[in-house]
Amino acid sequence: MPVDAVALTRELIRFDTINPPGREKPCAEHIGGLLEEAGFQCAYVAMGEGRANLVARLGGAGDRPPLAFTGHIDVVPLGARAWATDPFGAETGDGKIFGRGASDMKSGVAAFVAAAIDRAPALASGPGAVLIITAGEETGCAGAFHLVETSMPVIGKAGALVVAEPSSNRPLVGHRGALWLKATAHGVTAHGSMPDKGVNAVYKAARAVSKLEAFDFNVARHAVLGAPTLNVGWMHGGINVNSVPDLAEIGIDLRTIPSQKHARLKEHIASYLGEEIELSTTIDVEGIWTEPADAWMHNVFAAVRDVCGAEPMVEAAPYFTDGSVLMPALGGVPTVVLGPGPAHMAHQTDEYCEIARIEEATEIYRRLIDQWCSAS
């Protein structure tokens, strides 16, 4: 039975999957029930109480591996500012659906689920499709890492990957990697009236921040992804004003390009900051890149052009995705970031997605499925 992607988007928004804590399992089961009715085999991979990833598979005839789609169903917290609509009400107006996750990225999940169900007969008799619907993406791709580390046989093989993150249906051929580091400075506490008796960890951290502002990656810009970046996002130190602080910490956000290896970059940062600072990794996800000249990427661009009526540009996403984890796990398959949500509304108050974009995305995904099945 056909599934309307717009209606499904609204259904998914109504599940409160704010992460933390997540609670994605009921939402995953709702999607799984629809897919099972269409003939998909569904596996739920638990990752804590009330949390689950969903892997759904249909088809598999012939030598060609299936086409993979992925999206996450957790969403970020609402923020302090009041919403104009109920963030879980999935209200509509002005051609839009409003709600947390409307853009990032329950609309994308709904669109590829609807497209896959619509094309279920063709998938069943051909190479098929695997839908990888994750929990915990918003906290560093936790669900995708959990799947790859514990359940790769459940995922199986794939020949190409569509990541339905928000792109306003622009096909993005890659994104930068993210290496998040915590830099720690240690000192010796003492009374604030006798600072000479202690060692001030905040001063050490301040020196490190000053050095980081002038850090030079010394690598050439990527033609599409641009230059790598470094941002100090937070700094904490001390407990009370009348004590010498013996601990200070810095949060460092590095965004990388394909020529950089994260292990080497961390070593470089550690050497640059010196022995006063200890480094630990909090998030490590590599970037992804598929050459625009890839044959499958040509098919993606053609589908977008035919549905949306304009020739796509070669672009990349500014954010990282579960593709960081899944693309290498699947053997470096061609990967595109392509979803209906507007990226600028991700994580925003009064988040929305245009209804027309959801309908476009569903048709694009149908065409990608048709092409994949016909080429087998």
pLDDT tens track for 295-312? 999 999 999 999 999 999
Nearest to 124 by CA among 61, 59, 37: 59
Give the type of residue at 66: P
Domain containing 358: what range? 5-175+288-374
Structure confidence by residue, pLDDT tens digits, 204-226: 999 999 999 999 999 999 999 99
Q: Please check whether residues 62 and 142 belong to one and the same domain.
A: yes
What is the phi/psi pair of residue 170, to 5°?
A: -90, 130
Q: Please check whether residues 34 and 83 belong to one and the same domain.
A: yes
Q: Please check whether residues 150 and 166 belong to one and the same domain.
A: yes
Structure confidence by residue, pLDDT tens digits, 67-123: 999 999 999 999 999 999 999 999 999 999 999 999 999 999 999 999 999 999 999
Q: Which of 257, 285, 313 lies at the terminal end of a domain, its last residue?
A: 285
Nearest to 164 by CA among 121, 99, 114: 114
Identify the band that residue 61 occupies on the pLDDT scale cut at 50, 70 and 90: confident
Beta strands in 27-168, from DSSP E residues, in sequence order: 41-46, 52-58, 67-72, 92-93, 96-98, 129-134, 160-163
Q: Please check whether residues 212 and 317 belong to one and the same domain.
A: no
Structure confidence by residue, pLDDT tens digits, 329-340: 999 999 999 999
Q: Please check whether residues 165 and 199 belong to one and the same domain.
A: no
Q: Please check whether residues 267 and 302 belong to one and the same domain.
A: no
pLDDT above 90 for 375: no
Q: Which of 285, 319, 341 lies at the terminal end of a domain, its last residue?
A: 285
Identify the band that residue 1 occupies on the pLDDT scale cut at 50, 70 and 90: confident
Alpha-carbon span 318 to 373, nearest angstrom: 31
Q: Please check whether residues 257 and 348 belong to one and the same domain.
A: no
**How many Cβ atoms from other residues are within 10 Å of residue 271's Cβ?**
9
Q: Please check whether residues 159 and 186 belong to one and the same domain.
A: no
Query: Strand 52-58 vs strand 288-289: parallel, antiparallel, or unpaired?
Result: unpaired
Identify the band that residue 376 occupies on the pLDDT scale cut at 50, 70 and 90: low
Q: Which of 267, 285, 303 lies at the terminal end of a domain, its last residue?
A: 285
Q: Please check whether residues 171 and 181 belong to one and the same domain.
A: no
Note the pTM of the prediction, 2 decimals.
Answer: 0.95
Question: In the chain, count of helices (H) and strands (E)?
Answer: 11, 16
Paired tokens of 98? 């409003």
Q: Please check whether residues 46 and 90 belong to one and the same domain.
A: yes
Q: Please check whether residues 260 and 182 belong to one and the same domain.
A: yes
Q: Kindly report the CATH number assigned to the domain that includes residue 192.
A: 3.30.70.360
Q: Please check whether residues 141 and 12 belong to one and the same domain.
A: yes
Instruction: Give how many domains the chain has, as a whole number.
Output: 2
